[in-house]
Amino acid sequence: MVGETPKLHALTGMSGMALPLVEKLAPGQPWNGEKRGCIDEFAHCATPDGLATANKLAKTEGLLVGPTSGATVKVAIDIAKRPEMKGKTIVVLAASSGIRYVKHPMWGPECAEANAALPIPPDLASEVPIVRWRSEDYVPPEAK
């Protein structure tokens, strides 16, 4: 929440931000959460909601975004659901690519599935052939 000390979370890059724009709009005045300049409000997203939205964007929309982008889209969806937003266009920037987070816990189930599905390529020391296994040799794992 605005004004609270940030707590430990998995939405990397989303806390402790300096807000020089807010300060420049009203120098020396504490911000009380009301509209100031082009900023109407600040919103927040819980870590599980941001991660879930990032995963949903990947699975349903084909958008590989990071956890912070998942959080911004979640907040945009919440804003879009407000009655006064009916018929309006909501724009959100998804500034983080999910490729930077392939080792992040949010992709744990997908990494486990990929590790089970893809065989370890043989002969990793050589530079040729580029394709290290033939797709016709692949046998998918048993469904559980």
CATH of the domain at 24: 3.40.50.1100
Q: Is residue 137 part of a domain?
A: no
Q: What total number of domains does the chain contain?
A: 1
Would you state the pLDDT for residue 27? 75
Q: Is the pTM of this model over 0.85?
A: no
CB atoms within 10 A of CB 87: 5
- Which of the two residues, 118 and 128, has the higher pLDDT score? 118
What's the average model confidence in pLDDT over 127-141?
A: 63
User: Residues 40-58: what's their mean pLDDT?
Assistant: 87
Give, as one character, the DSSP assignment of residue 42. -
Cis peptide before 129 (omega within 30 of 0): yes
> Residue 141: is its pLDDT beyond 90?
no
Tokens 């992709």, residue located: 107
Residue 26 resides in a domain = yes
Q: Residue 78 belongs to what domain range?
A: 20-101
Q: Could you tell me the two tokens for 84? A: 């006064």
120 belongs to a structural domain: no
Is residue 12, in this structure, part of any structural domain at all?
Answer: no
Pick from 28-42, 51-65, 87-101: least confident: 28-42
